[in-house]
Amino acid sequence: MKVFLKNEDLKKLLARFVQEGRLFAPVRRCGYSGWDRVSSVDEVVLSREQAILQGEEVNTREPAKIFVFPRSETLFEFEGEEAVETGEIPELVVFGLRPCDGRAMAFLERFFVGNGPEDPRVRQRREKVTLIGVACNSPADSCFCTAVGGGPHENKGLDVLLREVAGGFLGEAVTSKGEELLTGFPEATAQQDAEAEKLKANAEATLALKIDLNRLKAALDNGFASPIWERLTLECVNCGACTFLCPTCHCFDVFDETVRGRKRRSRIWDSCQFTLYSQHASGHNPRLNPAARYRNRVMDKFKYTVDMLGEVSCVGCGRCVRVCPAGIDIRVAVAEILKEAAQDGR
Amino acid sequence: MGGNPYQPLPVRIERVTVENEARDLKSFDLRFVNQGERERWQFLPGQFAFLSIAGVGEAPFGIASAPDEELLKFTVKRVGAFTTALHEMEEGAIIGLRGPFGSAYPWTLMQGRDVLIVSGGFSFTTLRAVIVHILKKENRPNYGRLVVVYGARTPGELLYKEELRAWKTNPELELVLCADRVCGGELFGFEGANQGEGKDAVQEGLVPEILKGVKIEADKAVALVCGPPIMLRFTHPVLKEMGFKPEQVFLSLENRMKCGIGKCGHCNIGPKYVCKDGPVFCYEELLRLPEDY
Amino acid sequence: MDKVARLRQRAKELLEKQEVVGVLGYRASSRPGISQVAFITKTEEVDRLIFDATCSQNLANYLLKVKDKGKVAVVARGCDSRSIVVLLQEKQIERGQVYILGVGCEGVIVQGEKSVSCRSCQYPNPVIYDEMLGEEVHFEPEKVEDEFDRLTPDERWQILSAEVARCIRCYACRQVCPNCYCPVCFVDASMPALVGKTHNVSDNMVFHIMRALHMAGRCVECGACHRACPMGIDLMRFNRQVAKIVRERFGLVAGAKPDEMPALTVFKPEDPQEFIR
Amino acid sequence: MADSSGFEPKIVAFLCNWCSYAGADLAGISRMQYPPNVRVLRVPCSGRVDPFFILQALQQGADGVLISGCHPGDCHYLTGNYVARRRFAVLHDLLQFCGLEPGRVTFAWVSASEGERFAQLVREVTDRVRKLGPNRKLKKE
């Protein structure tokens, strides 16, 4: 089902959600864009391509995962010893996330809900959010979604994918929720469809990096004890920026606190880069050495989730490359791992 | 265990017993506040659960009681913020419990075989559950010899001393106790403690050393091992000498855990989560995992 | 011979004569306008060393990571050298462990803009060094007058709360700071848990105020934390204010003079106390 | 003399054991009247007061904080209050810069013999905080 929405049609559609106070979209804030509740539809930047020309980053700094796995959420408030679930999960509409974030949402849903015991909060949040993605026509130099099996116009994990063409957007419904949203709009013409395909081809052309994921998995399978990790991680300061802003990082800590007599248990983001992340109660810490922690992150993205779920959990959004204070680029790390594995004949 | 896996159920502390001389190990016997919860809460020895106190914290502990004992027993060492708060709790207090989580010891594989238990320090909790479960009248015939080698730093640090004394005179199992230092200290009723002759003695020596003195046919046996990393490192070669192949040795691992259902990521060893794929691992499987624990 | 060539040549000589086990400096990264820290131990790699306006990390922070490998050479600008002085004063490193290659600095440029601390920098040249690469740099520091101070208390609190509300507690600001070398930070302490770790404006504000207080008399205003923050929070507003307070009240500047100990570790009987009843 | 809204501020006071706590004790023994809004915490020395205690008090619901120690020169530990004075100076100026109302956090030197002065100090601090109204700025939700 492919439809065409003129800019005003899209604006009217979004305005309906704004009235209901349900729309979240990228809003420009001090040098980058972040997610925020939209109070008036004029705040929404419809044409991201124009914004990018004016120096806006291709993607929001904070990933769209915050809508299914927020930075921190209260799990329970305690009345006496009774743990009461709190926080009514609102119905939200998210406009403007990119295909890489869409693919990450699919991964998170599969990890939290479709893999062993189910996490009820993530399931509810995903059910109650409608994801309207916008395809990338001009990816950034730090993006590499095609290298890890994604693409600038991919619609996996989204409810609706919009592809910016002349005068409006080509709308593609992915789920039933998406179809509901796009009913009543005119069918897209073959000419508009061709234009979108051309834009997609151009975008893919700029994403030149190729990663042989199978060879990388093989290299990592027996690259655990390789000296490369020490060399790769001298610059790493073990902060949590790359993991917190990674759309597929799912680690969390459970934190109990008493605030003026009110007891609550919350879930907050945690990072395998922090020292205390794997510290046992006995004081033993298997990953005290910073290189072991960076190894754990690269292994998790390109090996452990392949062993667990059969798919790489890096979507190539490039955020970790853009935000690393030490300038570490995971693509360079991957290339060196492959090169070293080739030399050792592994 | 349906509903919200993070939701703790209220349990009441029926009995608190101080287990060691240093008084930093206490056992808590818990009863469900709500009727019918105990019946729904089925588990096997080797599994663990999360104890929690509202507004203070939550932590995972091995279940020390056998599946059909009325009260759930947990032995807790006072180490951090949560365990200190728990140690200050009196009998009658209400805390939170959620679980059971993780895999149990390989009960099917153990059918009809001799069971060798090797334990050091306060990790004896889930192995106590195993012993009590095997010693039950209906279960005992399903297993061959039950040989237990259990050691601690001093006799005062041994857990469940009354039960140990009872087991010393119980013909159904062979209990070998040891301590790094025995002479000169309080013997806690294990009188006969001379240099290892008396059956009720506490021999002086480290667990791996004492284990060498045990005679057992490895190919008919299964070994359950649980203790601090240093003890494990010296126990594996001894087991190998005794003829145990890695597939016959099972370990219960300790890791930092926050969820218990394989989501929060803290307890990973390579691609495996200790809380979901463990905590009991076959040694052969551990050898295939990265040395990351 | 310009600075970079001199740096590479001296690095080669130091390594060849085994005076140092490695040279801590900067190298280009995989992306334009961004530099990475380099620890060069082989003479054939010295040509990767660079020095320009993209070098944004404070190398004193990395000294703590490599100091036990033996004597180390380190490239030091004004602020880096002052951080090294603070680390020396706080006994984190010994003077003999470090061979300081001093270099004058015209300021760090990030996305085409020189950060505020560099524009008003009073110490572009290193305060201590074993050797100076190229001549000293002299420029008139900008008088950065900021209308923030003239706002009302409520407005200031509003602005700072909005900034700090964006903090995702990734602790990049702490991890890139040479002064933050505590094994367990007060934020991670659990006995008792001092600061809440949830997304709470009050907790975030307490974290940033406390971190700024721990910087009193120690922060050299290098701006590394400001540049490291992925959420673009204006951290220098806290640190510059604390440095200003220490300057005005006690006449001390962090790491400016090796023999002047950090402000809060010393006192004078006649310290100002007009604010005390 | 509560104001119209009947708001009674909660004030946390960190009193050094050797001087200010003794001064407060003297005020009590001498039956001096002063508002009951103050919750006193005894600390070994004003130097023991970590800025964190003050912030956490405000977070957990205090409307005002009073920190009082020995006069410079009288410190039982000789330099406790000197070191504290510099720390308090930086904290006081930084909180004011951040926008906390002046008068929320009060520093004082009260010796063991100044019972009357302590009572007067508490009266002033209570009035001032009452006029400022409930603390919203650092209060943790």
Q: Which residue, of B69, B101, B133, is where some domain finishes?
A: B101
D83/C245 Cβ within 8 A: no
The answer on B55 and B187 residing in a single domain is no
C156/D83 Cβ within 8 A: no
Percent of chain A with pLDDT over 90: 82
Tell me the per-residue pLDDT of A40-59, one tens digit each, with 9 for 90 and over.
988 888 888 888 888 888 99
C269/D88 Cβ within 8 A: no
The answer on C154 and C110 residing in a single domain is no
Q: How many domains does chain C have?
A: 2
Evaluate if residue B194 carries a pLDDT over 50: no
pLDDT at B1: 46
Q: How many domains does chain D have?
A: 1
8 Å CB contact between A106 and A68: no
Tell me the per-residue pLDDT of C57-111, one tens digit each, with 9 for 90 and over.
999 999 999 988 999 999 999 999 999 999 999 999 999 999 999 999 999 998 8
pLDDT at B2: 56
Evaluate if residue B183 carries a pLDDT over 90: no
The answer to whether residue C152 neighbours chain A at the CB level (below 8 Å) is: no
The answer to whether residue A72 neighbours chain C at the CB level (below 8 Å) is: yes
- Report residue B119 as tokens: 């334990």
**Shortest CA gap D86–chain C (Å):** 6
Structural domain boundaries in chain A: 2-206, 213-344
Residues composing chain A = 346
User: What dihedral angle (degrees, nearest 10) is formed by the CA atoms of A104, A106, A112, A116?
Assistant: -130
Mutation pick from B266, B269, B273, B276 vs chain A, by most beta carbons of A within 10 Å, is: B266
* Confidence at B182, pLDDT banded by 50, 70, 90: confident
Establish if C140 belongs to a structural domain.
no
Indicate which CATH number applies to the domain containing B22.
2.40.30.10
Q: Which residue, of B47, B71, B101, is where some domain finishes?
A: B101
Mutation pick from C184, C188, C190, C197 vs chain B, by most beta carbons of B within 10 Å, is: C190
A117/B258 Cβ within 8 A: no
The answer on B88 and B119 residing in a single domain is no
A85/B4 Cβ within 8 A: yes
**Shortest CA gap B84–chain C (Å):** 10
Which residues of chain A does C197 touch, with a Cβ-Cβ cutoff of 8 Å? Answer: 72, 253, 255, 268
The answer on C164 and C90 residing in a single domain is no
ipTM of the complex: 0.93
Indicate which CATH number applies to the domain containing B130.
3.40.50.80
pLDDT at B185: 66
Q: Which residue, of C133, C163, C181, is where some domain finishes?
A: C133
Residue with tokens 């809004």: D37
Taking residues D65-73, report their average pLDDT: 95
Establish if C18 belongs to a structural domain.
yes
- For D141, the closest chain A residue by CA position comes to A259
* Confidence at A30, pLDDT banded by 50, 70, 90: low
**Shortest CA gap A61–chain C (Å):** 7
**Shortest CA gap A242–chain C (Å):** 9
d(CA B264, CA B269): 13
Provide the β-strand partners of residue A266. Answer: A74, A255
pLDDT at B291: 86
Subunits close to D (at least 3 CB pairs below 8 A): A, C
Decide: C and D in contact? Rule: 3+ Cβ pairs under 8 Å.
yes
d(CA D131, CA A139): 57
Decide: D and A in contact? Rule: 3+ Cβ pairs under 8 Å.
yes
Q: Which residue, of C133, C159, C174, is where some domain finishes?
A: C133
The answer to whether residue A279 neighbours chain B at the CB level (below 8 Å) is: yes
CA-based nearest residue to A219, from A79, A337, A304, A45:
A337
The answer to whether residue B192 neighbours chain C at the CB level (below 8 Å) is: no
Evaluate if residue C39 carries a pLDDT over 60: yes
The answer to whether residue C188 neighbours chain A at the CB level (below 8 Å) is: yes
8 Å CB contact between A152 and A132: no
Q: At what angle do helices C236-250 and D80-98 cross, to 10 degrees?
A: 130
* Helices and strands counted in chain D (H then E): 4, 4
The answer on B133 and B52 residing in a single domain is no
Evaluate if residue D97 carries a pLDDT over 90: yes
d(CA C175, CA C211): 12
Q: What is the mean pLDDT of chain C?
A: 93
Dihedral sign, CA of B115, B118, B123, B125? Answer: positive
Tell me the per-residue pLDDT of C234-262, one tens digit each, with 9 for 90 and over.
999 999 999 999 999 999 999 999 999 99
pLDDT at D3: 56
B271/A304 Cβ within 8 A: yes
d(CA A180, CA A201): 29
Taking residues D73-77, report their average pLDDT: 94
d(CA C217, CA C236): 15
Evaluate if residue D2 carries a pLDDT over 60: no
Tell me the per-residue pLDDT of B114-165, one tens digit each, with 9 for 90 and over.
999 999 988 899 999 999 999 999 999 999 999 999 999 988 899 999 999 8
pTM of this prediction exceeds 0.90? yes
Evaluate if residue D4 carries a pLDDT over 80: no
pLDDT at A56: 85
Q: Which domain holds residue C177?
A: 147-265
Q: What is the mean pLDDT of chain A?
A: 93
Residue C205, CB half-sphere, CA atoms under 13 Å: how many? 26
Q: How many domains does chain B have?
A: 2
The answer on C47 and C92 residing in a single domain is yes
B contact residues 83-142, partner C, Cβ 8 Å cutoff: 84
pLDDT at A81: 77
Mutation pick from A77, A255, A259, A264 vs chain D, by most beta carbons of D within 10 Å, is: A259
Tell me the per-residue pLDDT of A54-64, one tens digit each, with 9 for 90 and over.
888 899 999 99
pLDDT at A345: 77
Tell me the per-residue pLDDT of A116-165, one tens digit each, with 9 for 90 and over.
899 999 999 999 999 999 999 999 999 999 999 999 999 999 999 999 99
Establish if B170 belongs to a structural domain.
yes
Indicate which CATH number applies to the domain containing D25.
3.40.50
Concatenated DSSP letters for A128-191? TEEEEEE--SS--TT--GGGGT--TT--TT-SEEEEEETTEEEEEE-SHHHHHHHTTSPBPPHH
Decide: B and C in contact? Rule: 3+ Cβ pairs under 8 Å.
yes
8 Å CB contact between D42 and D23: no
Tell me the per-residue pLDDT of C189-232, one tens digit each, with 9 for 90 and over.
888 888 999 999 999 999 999 999 999 999 999 999 999 999 99
d(CA C59, CA B72): 55
d(CA B255, CA A330): 28
Pairing of strands B114-120, B221-226: parallel
The answer to whether residue C192 neighbours chain B at the CB level (below 8 Å) is: yes
Tell me the per-residue pLDDT of B203-237, one tens digit each, with 9 for 90 and over.
888 999 999 999 999 999 999 999 988 899 999 99
B81/C192 Cβ within 8 A: yes
Q: Which domain holds residue B72?
A: 9-101
The answer to whether residue C264 neighbours chain D at the CB level (below 8 Å) is: yes
Evaluate if residue B195 carries a pLDDT over 60: no
Establish if C91 belongs to a structural domain.
yes
Evaluate if residue A94 carries a pLDDT over 80: yes
The answer on C176 and C115 residing in a single domain is no
Establish if D141 belongs to a structural domain.
no
Q: Which residue, of B101, B136, B168, is where some domain finishes?
A: B101
Helix (H/G/I), strand (E/B), else coil: D23: helix
Q: Which residue, of C109, C133, C157, is where some domain finishes?
A: C133
Establish if B1 belongs to a structural domain.
no
CA-based nearest residue to C144, from C54, C71, C265, C234:
C234
* Confidence at A82, pLDDT banded by 50, 70, 90: confident
